[in-house]
A and B are shown apart, each in its own frame.
Chain A
Amino acid sequence: MKVRNNAFSLDSTDLKILEALQEDARQTYTTIGKRLGIAHSTVYDRVKRMENYGIIKSYKALIDAEKAGVKQVTAIMVIYTDPKESEKVAEKLCECLNVLEVYTSLSEELQVIAKVVAESQESLHEFIAKSIAPLPGVLRIRTSMVTKKFKESQPIIVNNPRKLTVAKEKEDGKRKKT
């Protein structure tokens, strides 16, 4: 299996390394090498190459804000925009630290969808009223507060698409038993 990048193609070993790092980015090159049956120096070289090409963007800790005692509200904003301005609205949102994710979507109208966090509902309102509503091209905004989080994960590069099916079958099997 080969996945082509702008600069070079990723082979199945690269994909396996990425998969291993996505499971646990703190494991050593030796551990990954043993698991894949390759030398740790090979893992090192390939990881460095993928870092240099920006395929591996960064290594971060995933923090559970609730357990860390950080009180915050999370909301999903749907911003209806003038089609001519939607890209600029999305770019402006990307500059805001408390905006975690930004997408554009085309349904009946052009929308910018963003996930945003704030200290409180009041500060969220202030942020939207003072920073988002005044942006040129913003037609109206619908915001939904997140009340409970059921799942949050990073997109995973799966080396073997079969794994997704297996994982889904396992999941379905569990559901049937319960």
Chain B
Amino acid sequence: MREEVKTRIPKEVPREKAFYFFTSIGNYTGKSASSLEEFMEKLMEVNTKSLEFHFYREDFEKWFIEVLQDQELAEEFRKLYALKLTGEPLRNQLYKTVETHLKHLTTS
């Protein structure tokens, strides 16, 4: 199963399919991610306002499913809604979730 997910997730997506970080409607931060690794890096760089904006609009999940075809990570993110996190705790939790997911993918 892990192997299947690992091979299915694209290493890098084309520019038009990258994730673009906004802080609100129409306000683009200038940061984007074309792979899951890059996404994880950008989670630590962007303003927490941007993370809150996308997280509660479910934009991250949509990107994982529609572009990366990674249902598992989307499911992991869904579980976090109940925690109602904001600010730095949200950033840390999102980072930890992606990091753990990537570790699973690479070690399986």
Contacts and interface: CB of A to CB of B under 8 A. Distances in A.
Interface of A: 75, 77, 80, 121-122, 124-125, 128-130, 132-134, 136, 138-143, 145
A139 B22 contact: no
Contacts of A132: 28
A122 B22 CA distance: 13
B26 A141 contact: yes
Interface of B: 15-16, 18, 20, 22, 25-30, 32
B27 A142 contact: yes
Contact of B27 (A122, A130, A136, A143): A143
B16 A134 contact: yes
B26 A130 contact: no
Contacts, number: 43
A128 B29 contact: no
A134 B15 contact: yes
A141 B28 contact: yes
A129 B20 contact: yes
A122 B26 CA distance: 9
B30 A143 contact: no
For the residues of B in contact with A, the DSSP-based class is strand
Nearest to A77: B26
24 contacts: A75-B26, A77-B26, A80-B30, A122-B25, A124-B25, A124-B26, A125-B22, A128-B26, A129-B20, A133-B32, A134-B15, A134-B18, A134-B32, A136-B15, A138-B30, A139-B30, A141-B26, A141-B27, A141-B28, A142-B26, A143-B26, A143-B27, A145-B25, A145-B26
Contacts of A122: 25
B29 to A, nearest CB: 6
A93 to B, nearest CB: 14
Contacts of A128: 22, 26, 28
B30 A129 contact: no
Given A122-B25, A125-B22, A133-B32, 4 more contacts: A121-B25, A134-B32, A143-B26, A143-B27
A83 to B, nearest CB: 15
